[in-house]
């Protein structure tokens, strides 16, 4: 019997360290979720189960507005990033060895590792220099810029394993190049594009730093709203809205990975 | 079966009497359908196809045969439009198609990997090319049904490619390439993924189809037997060049060079020098010793180094020296007997140091062998069996 030495063949030491690691990661979140259902007004005192803070949220006009702004920004920027990111991935994978290819691919990846503060600040400088009215659209553009590279990475890895003879077959049968891309390539890499969209959406939705730099009066995103409220003290409603955000992000990430996996499956079947 | 063209004059160095039969296929077809005019293709410094000229006729079944990497696929891809020739022209129906993009060429290709669209059904795959032409829906449906019936896949229309067996996928690929009734159908090793039985069936299906639809087929294959069975003419390629273009029997019986003789089938090669040559006979002094007499004429003057090629099935094996003549006769000892089912192959070490192969049909059951390993034998061949090769 193995169970004496641990679970599923893991030693007791491994089980303990995994449990500690998971606790470290998820205990704060678990506490937040549990306290969002706290009946008591005092955040630190347990007063029994209740959903009253969720109901209260429905009447918090400012919070709802911020949530709506965030949703719109996330959807718009994720869509723009998916289009641009896919095009960039196609260019990188397909264009062969054009001049400056290495530099171009390096530049696409840079935002992945760039500190957000720097990205945010440089975007702010750009918007100021362009004399753009800062608000909803500047945040959307900033988020598109930042999330684009994530889409590119996801789509690029799919394209690298894409069988080009499928495109050749389409053209051979009389399909012009652009139509081939739309009717053959895009449907087949779509899971990767959708995964990229999900990723971009969640990244945009929970971004605080870049939004803070690039926004102006009148456009407050949800994370900004939460942050400013928390500075005045943690209210139970905040726990509730954060729980909703966690749920959304979790759904988004799981959906993205499922889509990516489905793409892998389709590829394996096609092979 | 497609029409054979008996009078092919493509190969050099063959007896003039054999080439021009009256009313030959050449006269029936004035202009070739596809013409490669001194086409070269370079990838960087590497020359994949070198100044190659080739004519393919209307309704012909043409096979390209050659070792791996000799440029067969490159040649097909240039015809389909996926690669541009570095030099030379490709004409279709007498018109230069070098600048025509792949989607506007009346040429369809069946890919080696099949390249079926995984997101479309079998029907969707077959209809894909027809939709591009804007064919009306009812006509598309009718044509798809017809094509699927042709490749014996009726009832499979709603399946996805991953729900088919390898052989079925291959037939879908064939139906898809045929659906548009292309002027030329290119097949790049269409049967490499199939087992032997299925290959043979498919071969005959292909020939039947070609005959029925009256299309021009160009097939690339590694399988010599396949090329021999299906093709009207075979082009043997080596290192980016065409070594010989001729009918299957000419390629086999009248190879134009040592390389072709060696590449196609099994062959015994004797190096030697011409002693004398006249009408209907050539005498060669073999380097290893012994005289060779062949009826195959040659222009080579006395003293020229030549190679005599003899197919193993034309070699006779005897267990006593009594019945054999001076010429074309070698004594030796059997090294090994290989049983291949229909025939047995004898590998013999000759007294003069050479090795020779002879095949004997296994006519009886159980197999009666004239000789076994270690036995002394005499090998001989008639003067008609040898071919004199200058290169
Ligand atoms: N895109 C390319 N870039 C560089 N070299 C290439 C390219 N395509 C083909 N080649 C080279 O050209 C030569 C001919 O290739 P090709 O694919 O035509 O060979 P093949 O006769 O079809 O061989 P096989 O029987 O193995 O399929 C090969 O040596 C190959 O390495
Ligand atoms: Mg090939």
The ipTM assigned to this model is 0.74
Asked if residue B157 belongs to a domain, the reply is: no
Residues B306 and B366 in one domain: yes
Assess whether B277 and B244 both reside in one domain.
no
**Are B102 and B195 part of one and the same domain?**
yes
Q: Which domain holds residue B311?
A: 266-389
- Which whole number is the average pLDDT over B11-27? 44
- Looking at domain A60-270, its CATH architecture is Orthogonal Bundle (1.10)
B280 and B228 in a common domain: no
Top pLDDT among B347 and B291 is at B347
Q: What is the mean pLDDT of chain A?
A: 85
Using CB atoms, pick whichever of A165, A168, A175 lies closest to residue B132: A175
Across B25-29, B88-92, B304-308, B374-378, the highest mean pLDDT is recorded for B88-92
Strand partners, B37: B89
Q: In chain B, which residues have their Cβ closer than 8 Å to the Cβ of A189?
A: none
Q: B41 CB less than 6 Å from ligand 1?
A: no
DSSP B231: -
Q: What is the pLDDT of residue B30?
A: 55
Residue of B nearest to A173 (CA): B129
If asked whether residues B190 and B67 sit together in one domain, one would say: yes
Same domain, B191 and B295: no
Q: Which residues surround ligand 2, an ion (CB under 5 A)?
A: B 73
pLDDT on residue A82: 95
* Residue that finishes a domain, picked among B204, B232, B258: B258
Of all protein residues, whose CA lies closest to atom 7 belonging to ligand 1?
B43
Burial of A177 (0-12, 13-18, 19+ CB in 10 A): middle
Q: Do B113 and A163 touch (CB under 8 A)?
A: yes
Place B11 in a pLDDT band, splitting at 50, 70 and 90. very low
> B22 pLDDT band (50/70/90 cuts)?
very low
* Global pTM value: 0.76
Query: Does residue B9 lie within any of the structural domains?
Result: no
Does residue B143 lie within any of the structural domains?
Answer: no
Which atom of ligand 1 lies nearest, measured to the CA of B70? 21
Euclidean distance between CA atoms A18 and B63, whole angstroms: 64
pLDDT digit string (tens) for A50-91?
Answer: 888 888 888 888 888 888 999 999 999 999 999 999 998 988
Q: Answer yes or no: is the C-beta of B71 below 6 A from any ligand 1 atom.
A: yes
Structure letter (DSSP) for residue B88: E
Domain termination residue (choose one: B220, B235, B258) = B258
What residues of chain B lie within 8 A of the CB of A184, using their CB?
117, 119
Range of lowest pLDDT (A57-66, A119-128, B32-41, B361-370): B361-370
> Structural domain tally of chain B?
2
Angle, CA of B53, B55 and B111, to the nearest 5°: 90
Q: Could B102 and A171 be called an inter-chain contact, meaning their C-beta atoms sit closer than 8 Å?
A: yes
DSSP A185: I
Expressed in angstroms and rounded, the spacing between residue A22 Cα and the centre of ligand 1 is 53
CB pairs under 8 A between A and B: 66
- Under the banding of pLDDT at 50, 70 and 90, the label for residue B23 is very low
Q: What pLDDT, in 10s, does the model give residues B103-157? A: 989 899 998 888 999 989 999 999 999 998 888 999 999 999 988 988 888 889 8
Minimum CA distance residue for ligand 1 atom 6:
B43
Low-confidence ranges of chain A (pLDDT < 50): 1-6
Whether residues A269 and B180 touch (CB distance < 8 A) is answered with no
Q: What is the pLDDT of residues B52-72, one digit of tens each?
A: 999 999 889 999 999 988 999
Least CB–CB distance from B129: residue in A168, A174, A179 = A174
Whether B190 and B308 share a structural domain: no
Quote the pLDDT of residue B6: 41
Residue B3 has a pLDDT of: 44
**Where do the H-state alpha helices sit in chain A?**
12-36, 52-58, 61-94, 101-113, 116-130, 136-160, 164-172, 177-180, 186-205, 209-214, 222-230, 236-270
What is the average pLDDT across B362-368? Answer: 75
pLDDT, tens only, B191-221: 776 777 777 887 888 888 888 888 899 999 8
Q: Where are the domains of chain A?
A: 60-270
d(CA B55, CA B30): 12
Kindly report the backbone phi and psi dihedral angles of residue B269, in degrees, each rounded to the nearest multiple of 5, phi listed first.
-115, 130
CA-to-CA distance for A238 and A29, rounded, in angstroms? Answer: 13
Ligand 1 closest atom vs CA B237: 21
Q: Tell me whether residue B218 is in a domain.
A: yes
Clarify whether residues B344 and B372 are in a common domain.
Answer: yes
CATH number of the domain that residue B72 is part of? 3.40.50.300
**% of chain B residues with pLDDT over 70:** 90
Identity of the residue in B108, B117, B119 whose CB atom sits nearest the CB atom of A172: B108
**Residue B42 within a domain:** yes
Contact B108, B186 (CB under 8 A): yes
Domain boundary among B210, B227, B258: B258
- Does the distance separating the beta carbons of A168 and B113 come in below 8 Å? no
Chain B residue numbers touching A172 (CB-CB < 8 A): 80-82, 102-103, 107-109
Q: Please work out, in degrees rounded to the nearest 5, the angle formed at the alpha carbon of residue A201 by the alpha carbons of A61 and A268.
A: 150
Please give, rounded to a whole number of angstroms, the shortest distance from the CA of A182 to a CA of chain B: 13
Residue B143 to residues A8, A258, B126, Cα–Cα distance (Å): 58, 39, 9
Neighbours of A29 (CB within 10 A): 13
Q: Is B69 in the pocket of ligand 1 (CB under 6 A)?
A: yes
């Amino acid at each position: 019997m193995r169970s004496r030495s641990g679970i599923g063949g893991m030693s007791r030491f491994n089980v303990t360290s995994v449990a500690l690691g998971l606790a470290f990661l998820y205990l704060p979140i678990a506490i937040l979720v549990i306290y969002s259902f706290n009946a008591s007004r005092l955040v630190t005192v347990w007063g029994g189960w209740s959903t009253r803070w969720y109901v209260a949220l429905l009447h918090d006009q400012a919070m709802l507005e911020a949530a709506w702004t965030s949703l719109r920004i996330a959807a718009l920027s994720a869509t723009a990033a998916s289009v641009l990111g896919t095009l960039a991935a196609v260019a990188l994978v397909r264009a062969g060895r054009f001049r400056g290819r290495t530099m171009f691919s390096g530049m696409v990846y840079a935002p992945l590792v760039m500190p957000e503060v720097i990205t945010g600040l440089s975007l702010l400088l750009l918007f100021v220099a362009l004399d753009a009215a800062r608000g909803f659209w500047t945040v959307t553009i900033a988020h598109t810029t930042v999330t684009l590279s994530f889409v590119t990475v996801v789509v690029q890895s799919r394209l690298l394993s894409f069988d080009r003879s499928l495109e050749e077959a389409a053209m051979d049968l009389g399909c012009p190049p652009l139509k081939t891309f739309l009717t053959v390539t895009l449907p087949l890499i779509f899971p990767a594009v959708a995964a990229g969209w999900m990723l971009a959406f969640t990244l945009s939705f929970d971004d605080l730093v870049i939004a803070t730099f690039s926004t102006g009066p009148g456009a407050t995103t949800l994370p900004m709203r939460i942050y400013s409220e928390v500075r005045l003290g943690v209210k139970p409603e905040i726990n509730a809205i954060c729980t909703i955000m966690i749920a959304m992000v979790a759904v988004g990430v799981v959906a993205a990975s499922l889509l990516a996996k489905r793409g892998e499956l389709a590829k394996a079947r096609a092979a | 079966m497609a029409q054979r063209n008996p009078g092919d004059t493509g190969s050099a160095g063959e007896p003039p009497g054999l080439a021009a039969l009256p009313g030959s296929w050449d006269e029936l077809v004035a202009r070739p359908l596809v013409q490669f005019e001194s086409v070269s293709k370079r990838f960087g410094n590497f020359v994949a196809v070198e100044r190659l000229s080739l004519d393919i006729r209307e309704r012909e079944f043409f096979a390209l045969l050659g070792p791996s990497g000799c440029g067969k696929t490159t040649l097909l891809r240039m015809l389909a439009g996926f690669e541009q020739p570095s030099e030379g022209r490709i004409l279709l129906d007498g018109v230069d198609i070098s600048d025509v993009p792949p989607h506007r060429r009346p040429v369809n290709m069946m890919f080696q990997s099949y390249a079926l669209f995984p997101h479309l059904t079998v029907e969707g795959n077959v209809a894909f090319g027809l939709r591009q032409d804007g064919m009306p829906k009812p006509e598309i449906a009718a044509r798809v049904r017809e094509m699927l019936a042709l490749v014996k896949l009726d009832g499979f229309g709603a399946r996805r490619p991953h729900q088919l067996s390898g052989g079925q996928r291959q037939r879908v690929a064939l139906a898809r390439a045929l659906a548009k009734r292309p002027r030329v159908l290119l097949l790049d090793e269409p049967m490499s993924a199939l087992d032997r039985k299925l290959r043979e069936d498919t071969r005959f299906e292909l020939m039947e189809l070609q005959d029925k639809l009256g299309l021009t087929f160009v097939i690339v294959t590694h399988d010599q037997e396949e090329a021999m069975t299906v093709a009207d003419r075979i082009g043997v390629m080596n290192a980016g060049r065409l070594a010989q273009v001729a009918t299957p029997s000419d390629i086999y019986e009248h190879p134009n060079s040592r390389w072709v003789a060696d590449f196609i089938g099994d062959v015994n090669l004797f190096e030697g020098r011409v002693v004398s040559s006249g009408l209907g006979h050539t005498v060669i002094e073999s380097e290893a010793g012994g005289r060779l007499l062949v009826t195959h004429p040659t222009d080579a003057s006395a003293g020229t180094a030549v190679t005599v090629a003899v197919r193993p099935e034309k070699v006779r094996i005897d267990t006593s020296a009594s019945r054999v003549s001076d010429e074309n006769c070698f004594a030796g000892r059997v090294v090994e007997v290989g049983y291949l089912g229909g025939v047995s192959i004898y590998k013999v070490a000759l007294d003069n140091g050479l090795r020779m192969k002879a095949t004997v049909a296994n006519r009886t059951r159980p197999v009666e062998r004239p000789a076994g390993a270690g036995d002394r034998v005499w090998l001989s061949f008639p003067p008609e069996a040898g071919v004199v090769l200058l290169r």
